[in-house]
Amino acid sequence: MYLITVLGNLLIILATISDSHLHTPMYFFLSNLSFVDICFTSTTIPKMLVNIQTQSKAITYAGCITQIHFFVLFVVLDDFLLTVMAYDRYMAICHPLHYMVIMNRRLCGLLVLVSWLVSFLHAILQSLMVLCLSFCTDMEIPHFFCELNQVIQCACSDTFLNEVVIYFAAVLLAVGPLIGILYSYCKIVSSIRAISSAQGKYKAFSTCASHLSVVSLFYGTSLGVYLSSAVTQNSRSTTTASVMYTVVTPMLNPFIYSLRNKDIKRALRRL
């Protein structure tokens, strides 16, 4: 599954770079999302595969903090890029005549740069706050990787401030982008309904279908993790839900975009 994820997303990036017809804002954001998905899975899966092979579940303190940092970085970045892609589809469908003027290279580059910067600063903040905690010896995390919430629950010192920051960040960096995505699609749906021809409606909806599928997968599985961990203390069910959004979703993304997109399929055939 890890090899399929890396190869699938790498093919999307190579197809986007090699085909001049795909040098548009939509595919620029898609290639960035594919790169982030490769990095996202690479923070947890290789270590898990080593653990399975060596029959050892140990991880160093420095390794655990590093894993937390990069996991938080790429999961927030994934969220931001999906939001930026929703904004791009909103501009393409609701303001088609001004699309190429507004969504110029400078704005596209700036949106990606800001996404990276905010994600990096948030990851640094969370990592530093975990570094301030003290832990007992022989600590055991009931998970297959150093998940932020699970690590904080294992701390011996007071974790109130850490929990406040986590929930505040969740509202700001997860709920905020989700509201942005839902607002964009409300506007998109109202614009599609205004199109008179059935062919025009289908064409407009087909450009959004892939992105909407990926958003549903990402938010559905990640919300499932935190809702299941809040409702039940069963670590097995939480871990199973985590596998869905850390392994399955990034693996399915290339298939969703390539199978539903004629331009990507044509570029992959050329490649």
Q: Which fold has domain 2-270?
A: Rhopdopsin 7-helix transmembrane proteins (1.20.1070)
**CB-based contacts of 33: which residues, under 8 Å, 6+ apart?**
78, 81, 82, 85, 253
Which has more pLDDT, 209 or 124?
124
**CB-based contacts of 72: which residues, under 8 Å, 6+ apart?**
119, 122, 123, 126, 127, 148
26-39 residue pLDDT tens: 999 999 999 999 99
The Cα–Cα gap between 67 and 64 comes to 5
Which contacts of 234-238 are long-range, i.e. CB under 8 A and separated by 24 or more positions?
A: 235/142, 235/143, 238/143
146-185 residue pLDDT tens: 989 889 988 998 899 999 999 899 889 888 999 999 999 9
Q: What is the mean pLDDT of residues 208-221?
A: 83
Torsion angles phi and psi, residue 270, rounded to 5: -65, -40
pTM for this one? 0.91
| Eight-state DSSP code of residue 21 | G
